[in-house]
Amino acid sequence: MKNLVTYLAFSVIISSMISCGEAKARSTKQNSVFSEVKDSIAIKVDALLAKMTIEEKIGQMNQYNGFWDVTGPVPQNGDAAQKYEHLKKGWVGSMLNVKGVTDVRKVQKIAVEETRLGIPLIIGFDVIHGYKTISPIPLAEAASWDLEAIKLSAQVAAEEAAASGINWTFAPMVDISRDARWGRVMEGAGEDPYLGSLIAKARVQGFQGDDLALANTIAACAKHFVGYGFPEDGKDYNTVDVGTSTLYNIILPPFKAAKEAGARTFMNAFNELNGIPATGNAFLQRDILKGEWNFDGFVVTDWGSINEMIAHRYAENRNMAAEIAIKAGADMDMESYAYVNELATLVKEGKVDEALIDDAVKRILRVKYELGLFEDPYKYCNEAVEKEVIGSKRIMDAVLDMAKKSIVLLKNENNLLPLKKNGQKIAVIGALADDTTSPLGSWRIAADDGTAVSVLEGLKAYKGNTITYEKGADVVTGETLFPKELTINVSEKSGFAAAVSAAKSADVVIMVLGEHGLHSGEGRSRSEIGLTGVQQELLETVYKANKNIVLVLNNGRPLTINWADAHIPAIVEAWHLGTQSGHAIAQVLYGDYNPSGKLPMTFPKNVGQVPIYYNHKSTGRPTIPAPGEVFWSHYTDVSNAPLYPFGYGLSYTTFEYSDLKVNVTSNTTVTVSVNLTNTGNVKGKEVAQLYIRDEFASVTRPVRELKGFELVELQPNETKTITFNLTDQELGFYNNNGKFSVEPGTFSIFVGGSSDATLTSQFEL
Ligand code: BGC
């Protein structure tokens, strides 16, 4: 109680200081106040720990799935009755997938009122892209390059989830990936560690806000630590084998950024990394995360990943797996039943030091205190707030705005877009055009099927044109939420004829094609990444009837759309954009919103090019030598170039870059400036991008690396000077011993609207 009073007193001090506006004094004092709050939490945690039995401590490290939803395979040895018994004994520290104020209150009440110590549960949920109101899939949001919008998107998702009783999200997923076959690319920020790090930070800040103790902020979880985005052959959960340079320079940076932004939890991963499962990997969790990075939150395992170390052939049985996991630094066991069943014995037998358990429990309790759960375990359980917040106009507006910002214009020959608003006959074709579930994407477990605005509905909101709709062909059959398998090979073509006849009498054809929302996501890797089923054939057939086609893509990964790129005059990348999808797409097609998205992942020409990414290394034989020469690094059947490069995206206006200037101000600081002009006829936004190349280094460096960008809005004919500041953070890299430094020498820079930027200069450090 005394500590609570002290805490409240601190809050009063903070707010009175804020109102006085003593900015500088405020930040120094605030820091010391916060560290005192932290100290007071540490005192409370120690006091509570001292009262706990070993079983109660281990209970805090045990997380169970709710009894309602299941997002993974259900372990054979666990059932609802046993979970319920454990909950009553205080052997459960957290639950996931319990949602809604009524249900959360039910389980929280058991933890708080029926257990000996009354320690509240922390309630986790996959709030990945929205909660009940769904925002664009994270890959789409990354295409906005708009960090403020991404932060806001995470913030409103947190608000909605918090209003539903949830206090912890298993997001952001900050896994970098270069393999479009991997189904979970939809859940990350794409292929680039620089963009990925900034987005990781924005998302963590959005979920957690400035004060975790508020009832509308929730704890974030950076996942999957680490390497999960680099599975061999793109198959989910597969082996990961990467060198130190890739680990330190590509994979780890977004996790470090998430930690620095204050992410209170991390999730480890299903994959093995260089022979050691991530869940049992002490180098990752103890040496890097908790050691070098000084992370003081807690690590939760991925679903059942302690047990999976047996299938990895790393642990011989569950007992051994539990021992490996705790020693490696995994603090909370998600659904392996390993800690709750094995740890006490391991401690008794002297195989596991109780100090390791104490450390894990302290971390977990600390986060619960920070969330304010001890002060009021029901603070997230307010029916009135739940009613008011979920699906509110404010949240709907935020996801609509995010959806528009996520759209990327890939092609627009002869300015086919924007569409004329009146007097046009428009044929809309494709099953996805009339789908109100698919736009919700893959992670939408709290959202109801059928709650997205379809493209057709979005277009119909514009009344000046005549619209006819034909499905043409199905995209999936037998769809249910999280079906075991989605049929991709839909082959029924009986709808083609009607689609052709609608196209024949139309001025413009809008074809909405791609993948269903559940074709990407966890466990949804694909070996072919074109349009699914017979959609390619449908596209080619309709094209024969009317060439005036706008292709709107719905997809959760880069697709191979060579034919479309060669033939279709306008292509719009519209991903899976969430609840407001159809309105966002229609507003872009009609020019009420000028698209400014840029691809966060390279689009390959064919799947054989994968993994394909812009920041690759050079080779000893990198360029095209004399014509007819064979012995250089290339394919004999496809060029090395991608279909669309990283950072690429068009607008309804055009931009020109000029007057590139470089000023080296010290041996680790460089200023780059460039003029950007809107040379077209309408207002528009451009993501100006800066890439560097460290020409020669002790460890070879990529041919280009993104090191700065700015989203700039310009009126027609307006010019702005953009300045990028490069510091040691941007100029340096990790060597193969994990040491970060800037190496003097020559650097090239490239500035422009994509990773293919041609405006270039050099400087020496
Ligand atoms: C996924 C995690 C997710 C967890 C809980 C796992 O299968 O890999 O990302 O947070 O399930 O739903």
Cα atoms in the Cβ-side hemisphere of radius 13 Å centred on 468: 17
3-state DSSP assignment of residue 356: helix
Return the minimum-mean-pLDDT range out of 10-14, 260-264, 412-416: 10-14
Residues 560, 484 share a domain: yes
The CA distance from 324 to 412, in Å, is 55
Q: Give the domain-ending residue among 574, 609, 644.
A: 609
pLDDT in tens, 520-531: 999 999 999 999
With 50 as the cut, is the pLDDT of residue 19 above it? Answer: no
Q: Which of 63, 70, 71 to mutate to test the pocket of ligand 1 (most atoms within 8 A of CB)?
A: 71
Residues 507, 561 share a domain: yes
CA angle (210, 216, 221) in 5-degree steps: 70
- Listed in sequence order, the residues at least 6 apart from 314 whose beta carbon sits closer than 8 Å to its beta carbon are 272, 276, 277, 280, 321, 324
Residue 30 pLDDT:
53
pLDDT in tens, 293-349: 999 999 999 999 999 999 999 999 999 999 999 999 999 999 999 999 999 999 999
Residue 14 pLDDT:
32
Contact 369, 44 (CB under 8 A): yes
pLDDT band at residue 83 under the 50/70/90 scheme: confident
* In a domain? residue 204: no
Q: How far is the CA of 367 from the centre of ligand 1 (A)?
A: 20
Residue written as token pair 């952001």: 172
CATH number of the domain at 706, please: 2.60.40.10
Q: How far is the CA of 302 from the centre of ligand 1 (A)?
A: 6
With 50 as the cut, is the pLDDT of residue 5 above it? Answer: no
Q: What is the pTM of this model?
A: 0.94
The residue type found at 179 is D
* In a domain? residue 384: no
Residue 12 pLDDT:
33
Residues 518, 577 share a domain: yes
Cα 67 to Cα 99, 305, 339: the distances in Å are: 11, 20, 20
Residues 558, 410 share a domain: yes
Of the candidates 634, 625, 582, 583, the one whose C-alpha atom is nearest the C-alpha of residue 605 is 634
CATH number of the domain at 412, please: 3.40.50.1700
Read off the pLDDT of each residue in 641-665 and give the average, rounded to a whole number.
98
β-strand pairing of 570-573 with 549-554: parallel
Q: How far is the CA of 574 from the centre of ligand 1 (A)?
A: 25
Q: How far is the CA of 334 from the centre of ligand 1 (A)?
A: 9
Specify whether 302 is catalytic. Answer: yes
Task: Give the chain's mean pLDDT.
Answer: 93
Q: Which atom of ligand 1 is nearest to the CA of 171?
A: 10
Q: How far is the CA of 301 from the centre of ligand 1 (A)?
A: 9
pLDDT band at residue 15 under the 50/70/90 scheme: very low
pLDDT band at residue 484 under the 50/70/90 scheme: low
Q: Which of 123, 303, 525 to mutate to test the pocket of ligand 1 (most atoms within 8 A of CB)?
A: 303
Residues 578, 462 share a domain: yes
pLDDT band at residue 84 under the 50/70/90 scheme: confident
Q: Give the domain-ending residue among 544, 576, 609.
A: 609
* In a domain? residue 486: yes
Residue 79 pLDDT:
67
* Diameter of the chain measured on Cα atoms: 82
pLDDT band at residue 482 under the 50/70/90 scheme: low
Q: Please give the structure tokens belonging to residue 647.
A: 């950072």
Residues 459, 572 share a domain: yes
Alpha-carbon torsion 417, 420, 423, 426, what sign? positive
Q: Is 474 in the pocket of ligand 1 (CB under 6 A)?
A: no
* In a domain? residue 494: yes
Residue 385 pLDDT:
97
Q: How far is the CA of 215 from the centre of ligand 1 (A)?
A: 24
Q: Give the domain-ending residue among 609, 631, 663.
A: 609
Q: Which of 69, 126, 223, 270 to mutate to test the pocket of ligand 1 (most atoms within 8 A of CB)?
A: 126
* In a domain? residue 582: yes
Of all protein residues, whose CA lies closest to atom 12 belonging to ligand 1? 71
Residue 631 pLDDT:
93
Q: Is 302 in the pocket of ligand 1 (CB under 6 A)?
A: yes
Contact 229, 525 (CB under 8 A): no
Residues 601, 664 share a domain: no
Residues 489, 569 share a domain: yes
Residues 523, 445 share a domain: yes
Q: Which atom of ligand 1 is nearest to the CA of 270?
A: 8
With 80 as the cut, is the pLDDT of residue 564 above it? Answer: yes
pLDDT band at residue 376 under the 50/70/90 scheme: very high
Return the minimum-mean-pLDDT range out of 239-243, 291-295, 622-626, 724-728: 622-626
- Listed in sequence order, the residues at least 6 apart from 155 whose beta carbon sits closer than 8 Å to its beta carbon are 206, 207, 209
Residues 668, 578 share a domain: no
* In a domain? residue 426: yes
Specify the number of domains making up the chain.
2
Q: Is 443 in the pocket of ligand 1 (CB under 6 A)?
A: no
Residues 660, 601 share a domain: no
* In a domain? residue 177: no
Contact 688, 751 (CB under 8 A): yes
Read off the pLDDT of each residue in 102-112 and give the average, rounded to a whole number.
93
Q: Give the structural domain span for 589.
A: 406-609
Q: Is 72 in the pocket of ligand 1 (CB under 6 A)?
A: yes
Read off the pLDDT of each residue in 478-493 and give the average, rounded to a whole number.
65
